[in-house]
Amino acid sequence: MKFTVILNGCSDNFILQAEEINGFLSSNALNLSRGHTIIFYCEENSKIELMANAPTASVELIKVKRYQPENILEILKQRTINQQMDLYLFASDFTGSELSVRFAYRIAGSSLVAVNKLEIEKDGLIAYKAVYSNHMQGVFKLSKKPYCISIAKGCTDLEAVLEKNHEAITEDMMDVVKDDFIKEYDFVEEERVSGLAHAKFMLVAGNGVKQKEKVKRLEEIAKSLGAVLGVSRPVATNAWAPLNQLVGVSGVMAKPELCIAVAVSGAAAFFAGIEKSQYIIAINTDKGAPIVRCADVVIIDDYESILEELLKIK
Amino acid sequence: MKILVCFKTVPDLEMLSEEDWAVDSNLAVDVSFVKNILNCFDESALEMTLKLSEYSESFNESLTLTALTIGDKKAEMFLKTLYALKFQKAVRIENNEDVRFFPEVIAAVIAQYVEKINNQDVVVLGRQSGEGDNAKTPLLVAEMLGWPCITQVINIEPSQEERLRVTSMVEGGTLIQVIDTPCVLSVGNAPVSYLRVPTLKDKMSYGKRAIEVLNINVFNIASLLNKCYHEYQLIGLEKISNHRAGILIEGATTAEKAKKLYDHYLKERLEKQ
């Protein structure tokens, strides 16, 4: 199957995107010699690192003023117009899912977002993805090429790129402008990085914490225990914790060695964010909560009392 | 400025027990007995738009808000609430077809509604919803209308010259953009998660207006579905099982439970960190 990987080299998470896609290619037995990689970049001095992390030997580096989806989509269409490609693969972040859907529409292909696994058949592509808010896995058959697929967050192990003999061409396409509708543009960098994606020990709090002050205390407890604090969607959207601490399908998909989940009911869309934890300890007052069946060890009790006791013992 | 907010009511899937997740011959799960709720991203989109409408008054600009949903009669309760919250128009497009995994159909209906029935300056939608979890509808609406799209929107404010100041989440931070319309806004994890409750007075004054109901056949749905069937189909559906050992730590006191947890399950693991 002839494929092209699309990566956003303007982003700080480029290496993560590249290693995740590389892991996906490897676990889905896609033949790298039939692949090509397109990387969008903004900084001239990042080119060498970007190229070194391209999963395929054949690489196209395209310089853009900034990563703006309207411009990127136009460039992608221009660069791929005469290609007979079977599959376009996009990263697992939000930019990847946006591009996969919009690009598929523009080139009259078919798209699927957050795909975990692919199987290639003669008359189509079989793709697996979570549906029903992560309660079910759906199996889809795509019949219309080119297939535009964005992969699911955390669907594969990260795999460093081994390819050493890259052959790259560089294009400057800064003059492609389709974002005239933007009159002012201001990027505000996150004040602090949550560190959740790479945390080895995580304490996660659910809606059962009920108050912002309790989340603040949990932040202190996490620090004392040597853990990083993550939160469920209601905790983040209630502004009890920063949005970058959100764990789950629409936030971070974490893979810690140890995870303590407190006051978490275990809604499937949240649990997907901690399911790759090596060991899960749940502390909850409700023994009927779904998290009870999904944890390795469970305590049915008030989480605050248990954690305060743990701090005394430690 | 005319703003259309599209929302979906979804079954509260967290209410289903393990045994309820049986798949029938149409590759569907019976969720008819579960209460319907607003899709969480759509709920943010609705509240965000109401806030925008309030702020706009200080810019001497009045917004015309329309709420649109595609589905059966169950959604009317929510549309009445939106009338009571001063949405000027509440529309339901009657649909009984299975479009769980065909966001292309939903997007085409919304785009036709905007192009042929009720022209708009902005369309606001939640980024994704169960049961399909397709995460495609806002993006496809933008493509079908030929409008730009901003994703992961967490705030919308008015700006000078009939523009909007849109805040969205991007990798490593937030983006604040002042934009011209038309535009599609896809709402993400916004810190505006609950739709306000209307006053009883407003419920009485505004909540009883007639909901506009359109038949989905007006939008040529048969041909849209047929096109989708030829492009992709759901061919399997199975329950994701996350079960683990679930060893229960028991003890007479909290201190005893915490001690057991630490000694038997935590100490060694913490030392490894």
Copy the structure tokens of residue A93: 């972040």
Distance in angstroms (rounded) separating the CA atoms of residues A247 and B131:
20
- Nearest residue to A238 (alpha-carbon basis) of A205, A213, A211, A218: A211
**Considering only alpha carbons, which residue of chain A is nearest residue B154?**
A237
pLDDT of residue A193: 65
Contact B14 A265 (CB under 8 A): yes
Contact A281, A292 (CB under 8 A): no
- Residue A173 distance to chain B (closest CA, Å): 20
Q: Report whether A21 contacts A87 (CB < 8 A).
A: no
Q: Which of A182, A187, A294 sits opposite B243 (nearest CB)?
A: A294
Chain B: give the shortest CA distance to residue A135, in Å.
6
Complete edge-to-edge strand list for the sheet that includes strand B64-71: A182-189, B173-179, B163-170, B149-159, B183-187, B122-126, B2-7, B64-71, B89-94, B212-215
Do residues A60 and A88 touch, judged by C-beta distance below 8 A?
A: no
B216-236 in b/e form (b: 16+ CB < 10 A) is beebebeebbeebeebbbbee
Cβ contact, residue pair B189, A251, below 8 Å: yes
Query: Residue A275 — very low, low, confident or very high, per pLDDT cuts 50/70/90?
Result: very high
Return the amino acid letter for B132: G
Which of A133, A191, A275 is the best residue to mutate to test the B interface, defined by the most B CB atoms within 10 Å of its own CB?
A133
DSSP state of A161: -
Looking at beta carbons, which residues of chain B come within 8 Å of A228? Answer: none
Determine the pLDDT at residue B265: 94
Asked whether the beta carbons of residue A296 and residue B244 sit closer than 8 angstroms, the reply is yes
Yes or no, beta carbons of B176 and A188 under 8 Å apart: yes
List, in order, residues 6 or more apart from A255 with CB less than 8 Å away.
A154, A276, A277
**Which candidate from A97, A135, A309 shows the least CB-CB separation from B135?**
A97
CA nearest B153 in A: which residue?
Answer: A94
Residue of A nearest to B191 (CA): A237
Of B172, B177, B230, Cβ closest to residue A12: B172
Domain layout of chain B by residue ranges: 2-231, 244-273
Q: Is B34 exposed, middle or buried (0-12, 13-18, 19+ CB in 10 A)?
A: middle
Q: Do B154 and A243 touch (CB under 8 A)?
A: yes
| Gap from A294 CA to chain B (nearest CA, Å) | 5
Rounded to whole angstroms, how far apart are CA atoms A131 and A2?
A: 28
Report the distance separating Cα A167 and Cα A192, nearest Å: 37
Distance CA A297, CA A51 (A): 45
What is the pLDDT at residue A192?
Answer: 65
Name the DSSP letter for residue A133: T
The answer to whether the CB atoms of A298 and B249 lie below 8 A apart is yes
Check B172 against A13: CB less than 8 A apart: yes
For residue B128, what are its two tokens? 């994704």
Residue B130 confidence (pLDDT) above 90: no
Residue A158 CB burial class (10 angstroms; 0-12, 13-18, ≥19): middle
Q: What residue in B sits closest to A224 (Cα-Cα)?
A: B270
- Which range of A162-176, A284-298, B139-153 scores highest in mean pLDDT? It is B139-153
Q: What does the block give as tokens for A156?
A: 């594969």
pLDDT at A173: 93
Two tokens at A268?
């499937």
> pLDDT above 90 covers what percent of chain B?
88
Residue A86, by phi and psi: left (phi above 0), alpha (psi -120 to 50) or beta? alpha
Q: Which residue in A has a C-alpha nearest to residue B192's C-alpha?
A: A237
Query: Do B125 and B6 touch, CB atoms closer than 8 A?
Result: yes
DSSP B15: G
Contact B178, A182 (CB under 8 A): yes
A126 with B257: Cβ contact below 8 A: no
- Cα dist from A154 to A116, A251, A270, whole Å: 9, 11, 14
Asked if the Cβ–Cβ distance from B171 to A98 is below 8 Å, we say: no
| Chain B residues within an 8 Å CB radius of A268 | 13-14, 240, 242
How far does B91 lie from chain A, in Å, by closest CA?
26
Do A135 and B13 make contact, defined as CB atoms within 8 angstroms?
yes
* Three-class secondary structure of residue B51 per DSSP: helix
The predicted-structure confidence for A114-138, as pLDDT tens digits, reads as follows 999 999 999 999 999 999 999 999 9
Q: What's the CA gap between B110 and B96, in Å, rounded?
A: 16
Give the gap in angstroms from C-alpha B35 to the nearest C-alpha of chain A: 15
* Yes or no, beta carbons of A299 and B191 under 8 Å apart: no
- Residues B226-232 have a mean pLDDT of 92
What pLDDT is stored for residue B273 in this prediction?
74
What pLDDT is attached to residue A20? 95
β-strand partners of A261 = A204, A282
Query: Which residues from B are below 8 Å from A295, CB to CB?
Result: 244, 246
Q: Which two tokens stand for residue B187?
A: 């709402």
Spell out which residues of chain A touch residue B268, defining contact as CB-CB under 8 Å.
Answer: none
CA angle A189/A193/A195 to nearest 5° reads: 155
pLDDT of residue B62: 86
Mean pLDDT of A253-258: 94
pLDDT in tens, B81-112: 999 999 999 999 999 899 999 999 999 999 99
Optimal mutation site among A237, A240, A279, A306, interface B, most CBs of chain B within 10 A = A237
CB contact under 8 A, B151 and A94: yes
Contact assessment for residue A291 and residue A261, using Cβ atoms and an 8 Å cutoff:
yes
Question: Which residues of chain B neighbour A13 with C-beta distances below 8 Å?
Answer: 171-172
Q: What whole-number percentage of chain A has pLDDT above 70?
A: 99
Percent of the residues in chain A that have a pLDDT greater than 90, as a whole number: 86
Predicted local confidence at residue B172, as pLDDT: 85
Pairwise CB contact (< 8 Å): B237 & A134: no
CATH entry 3.40.50.620 includes domain B2-231: yes
Position A5 scores a pLDDT of 97
Q: What is the ipTM of this complex?
A: 0.94
Res B262 pLDDT > 90: yes
Closest to B240 measured CA to CA, from A255, A23, A117: A117
The answer to whether B29 touches B19, Cβ cutoff 8 Å, is no
Share of chain B above pLDDT 70, in %: 100
Residues 6+ apart with CB under 8 A from A259: A201, A202, A203, A204, A274, A277, A279, A280, A281
pTM of the model: 0.93
Q: Which residues of A touch B14 (CB under 8 A)?
A: 133, 265, 267-268, 290
The CB density around residue A134, as the number of other CB atoms within 10 Å, is: 23
Q: Quick check: A198 pLDDT over 90?
A: no
Both structure tokens of B86: 């001063």
**Contact (CB<8Å) B191/A98:** no
The pLDDT score that the predictor gives to residue B129 is 94
- For B199-223, the DSSP string reads PHHHHHHHTTSPPEEEEGGGGTHHH
Say how many C-beta atoms besides its own lie within 10 A of residue A280's C-beta: 27
A208-248: pLDDT as tens digits: 999 999 999 999 999 999 999 999 999 999 999 998 899 99
Q: How many CB atoms lie within 10 A of CB A202?
A: 26
At a CB cut-off of 8 Å and minimum separation 6, what does B141 contact? B6, B107, B110, B111, B114, B123, B125, B184
pLDDT for the residue numbered A195: 83
Q: Count of CB contacts below 8 A, A vs B?
A: 259
